[in-house]
Structure 1
């Protein structure tokens, strides 16, 4: 399910190129992608303040719930 959501981001013009490179590219691309996410978070908090921090944290809660649900599914490759 999470992979399908990430693959649906391929259709977003600029973000799709970055996500595709992080998923299918070399290992260094993953580190650059994570660095870009951290930098975008820092710049958003610097520009918009505490509201941006709260918005990112609420989004992180949803993402972590999706990861937990994916791990605990019976047919998940991560469930063992």
Structure 2
């Protein structure tokens, strides 16, 4: 998981905020999460239904992959 945060840390503007949320004080993590939530709410206000459905569609693949990974662990286990 730290590899993902390290890669996201190289994004020019957003990287500073991500690094501060991961490595900084607890309050900076909470403020980062609140900013993400408020940004999503503003996107829903301005763009409407697509701002709700596009993140949900993106998460479908993630959850599907996680479910396959959980249920197929015995199949993929190396003896």
Could you say whether these structures have the same fold, taking a TM-score greater than 0.5 normalized by the shorter chain as the test?
A: yes
- Correspondence 1:23 to 2:9: no
Shift of 1:71: 8.2
Segments of 4+ in structure 1 off by > 4 A? 62-72
TM-score by length of 1: 0.71
**Aligned in 2, Cα 1:50/1:37: closer, same or farther, shift over 3 Å?**
same
**Aligned in 2, Cα 1:23/1:54: closer, same or farther, shift over 3 Å?**
same
Extract unaligned runs of 5+ from structure 2.
Answer: 74-79
1:15 and 1:9 map into 2 onto residues whose CA distance is: 8
Q: How many residues align?
A: 72
User: 1:51 corresponds to which residue?
Assistant: 50
- Give the alignment of 1:3-42 within 5 angstroms: 3-42=2-41
1:25 and 1:39 map into 2 onto residues whose CA distance is: 21
**Aligned in 2, Cα 1:69/1:28: closer, same or farther, shift over 3 Å?**
farther
1:40 and 1:26 map into 2 onto residues whose CA distance is: 21
RMSD, matched Cα: 2.6
Relative contact order (C-alpha < 8 Å, sep 6+): which is higher? 1
